[in-house]
């Protein structure tokens, strides 16, 4: 059985401010670096294949957690928030009013101007998942909230029109089992990192 454990990158100043980061590349905070430097995946992931989004916040998170050989994977990039990037949801709702409200009712097809939808994120993840399934074994991937939510949707059928089927702990690993074609299903959600 192939297992893929996704982990969100450590915190940035934009996370603290509630800003949509998308493809912007702010670094980790010093506090996040200190927290990650004393953490690692559970022992059963020793020897796993490590993957990361090319954005610095994901790469640095993987390195701080102990990744030795890291495969940078563009398909793990955060959802492209287009014109919404750098803004908060509260600001967008206030400025755009009904336009934003209507966009948010689209679920998987929510799409910022010039950006991509969660459905499009799912579509770019599928070939990567299939490649992981062909490789087999255990994989750890450091990515982003939008990507992990898209994978949860793919694995559970969640249409993103209501609350997720499971509340995710963004400091924990979200583990999915892949069938031979790379189709995911939840295996162990909210698996905590360990202290070194």
Give the pLDDT score at 193: 98
Q: Which domain holds residue 120?
A: 2-195
pLDDT tens figures, 53-80 = 999 999 999 999 999 899 999 999 999 9
Question: Taking all residues of the chain, what is their mean pLDDT, rounded to a whole number?
Answer: 97
**How many domains does the structure of the chain reveal?**
1
Q: Mean pLDDT across the stretch 12-24?
A: 96
Burial of 6 (0-12, 13-18, 19+ CB in 10 A): buried
What does pTM read for this prediction? 0.96
Q: Which two tokens stand for residue 166?
A: 């499971």
Q: 117 pLDDT band (50/70/90 cuts)?
A: very high
Give the pLDDT score at 195: 94
Give the CATH number of the domain where residue 114 resides.
Answer: 3.40.50.1240
């Amino acid at each position: 059985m192939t297992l893929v454990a996704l982990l969100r990158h450590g915190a940035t100043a934009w996370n603290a401010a509630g800003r949509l980061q998308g493809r912007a590349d702010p670094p980790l905070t010093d506090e996040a670096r200190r927290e990650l430097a004393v953490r690692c995946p559970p022992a059963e992931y020793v020897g796993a294949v490590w993957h990361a989004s090319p954005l610095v916040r994901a790469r640095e998170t993987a390195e701080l957690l102990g990744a030795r050989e890291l495969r940078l994977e563009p398909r793990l990039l955060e959802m492209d928030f287009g014109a919404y990037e750098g803004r908060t949801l509260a600001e967008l709702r206030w400025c755009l009013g009904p336009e934003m409200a209507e966009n948010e009712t689209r679920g998987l097809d929510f799409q910022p101007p010039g950006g991509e939808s969660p459905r499009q994120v799912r579509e770019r993840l599928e070939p990567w998942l299939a490649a992981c399934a062909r490789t087999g074994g255990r994989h750890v991937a450091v990515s982003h909230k939008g990507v992990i939510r898209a994978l949860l949707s793919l694995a559970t059928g969640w249409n993103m029109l209501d609350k997720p089927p499971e509340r995710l702990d963004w400091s924990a690993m979200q583990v999915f089992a892949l069938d031979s074609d790379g189709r995911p299903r939840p295996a162990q959600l909210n698996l905590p990192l360990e202290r070194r």
